[in-house]
Amino acid sequence: MKIALDYHSSEPLTQQAILQIKLLIVKQVLKPGDRLPSVRQLAKDLSLNPTTTNRIFSQLAQEGVVIQRPGLGVFVADGPTPFSAEYINNVLSRQALGLLVEGLRYGLDYEQIQAILEKQYDCEIRNKK
Amino acid sequence: MKIALDYHSSEPLTQQAILQIKLLIVKQVLKPGDRLPSVRQLAKDLSLNPTTTNRIFSQLAQEGVVIQRPGLGVFVADGPTPFSAEYINNVLSRQALGLLVEGLRYGLDYEQIQAILEKQYDCEIRNKK
DNA sequence: TAACTGTATGATATTATGTAATACAGATGG
DNA sequence: CCATCTGTATTACATAATATCATACAGTTA
């Protein structure tokens, strides 16, 4: 499983890893039922402490992204997590506002911000270009 | 200056305030040269400690959003902060990817995520609808 | 039983977050 | 000059988040 961490970033390593794993699921590189690396194996791969990789999976499990099975391993959960439309809208609206404010503050206009979003979708999700 | 904080949110109060102030600038409610509330006044308004409001302004000053003048006050800086196009693109791309991954994980498609972004722009920035 | 799996606990360290009290120095109007 | 604003600095304190480390316990399976 290819996960790249920036060990010098101010963004916590656990948050980086969580985004990377979600990204692999969204890209369907990982599909429901697929097994992820074990707590100890991922710790070796990422040069992290097993306690840390376990927390990564625990947080993902709490969000309903993965399922942890003692003795067996960690597996990708089925489909999207069932949250209310209102909750989803609130979370994403807040995140979208953050992107907008940062972009506008940097002097970009709405179209340019939209273009960045589209490029990320094409390149990072769809693997086009 | 109207700033609404959610004191029960998991998002740090300083980060909330920073976003709100940037939002007011982006909406041009606050313009370059305008004076912001003093450290002590904002502390009263938001029921925060002066040390905390000072850190809010310090972080904003470090980002080039405001300028702190001893004896005078805190003022909105001129125009967008001059960062390299590459740096801006990296920051915004990362933020856009986060929005995309969350949205897709919640079962939305690209068009729905784009719609949320547009709605936030119209409602929160442009004050339309 | 051996060798994996996730899980739990306790200790330690660092950083972020937030409050609190106090003090210092710059600016300004009376 | 001086009182009263302004930002700034320092010290102390508390809590939570982040991350490491060692050890132990329990489930699964070849």
CA distances to B33, B61, B68, B127 from A85, rounded to whole Å, are 41, 37, 42, 23
Task: State pLDDT tens for residues A53-95.
Answer: 999 999 999 999 999 999 999 999 998 877 899 999 999 999 9
The per-residue pLDDT for B19 is 98
Average confidence (pLDDT) over B24-50: 97
Put simply, whether the predicted model's pTM sits higher than 0.75 gets the answer yes
The per-residue pLDDT for B83 is 87
Residue nearest to nucleotide C20 (CA to C1'): B49
CA distances to A31, A37, A56 from A74, rounded to whole Å, are 13, 7, 11
- Provide the 3-class DSSP secondary structure of residue A69: strand
- Measure in Å the smallest separation between the Cα of A61 and chain B Cα atoms: 13
Q: Which class for B41: exposed (0-12), middle (13-18), buried (19 or more C-beta within 10 A)? A: middle
Q: What is the DSSP letter of A36?
A: E
Task: State pLDDT tens for residues B67-124.
Answer: 999 999 999 999 887 789 999 999 999 999 999 999 999 999 999 999 999 999 999 9
The per-residue pLDDT for B128 is 85
CA–C1' span, B56 to D17, in Å?
Answer: 20
**Structural Rg of chain B based on CA atoms:** 17
Give the separation between CA A110 and CA A23, rounded to whole angstroms: 25
- Provide the 3-class DSSP secondary structure of residue B77: coil
- Asked if pLDDT for residue A21 goes beyond 80, the answer is yes
Average confidence (pLDDT) over B8-14: 96
The per-residue pLDDT for A2 is 87
SS (H, E, C) B39-70: HHHHHHHHCCCHHHHHHHHHHHHHCCCEEEEC
Total number of residues shown for chain A = 129
Give the separation between CA A88 and CA B108, rounded to whole angstroms: 9
Chain A residues 40 to 69 with C-beta below 7 Å from nucleic strand C: 40-41, 50-51, 54, 57-58, 61, 68-69
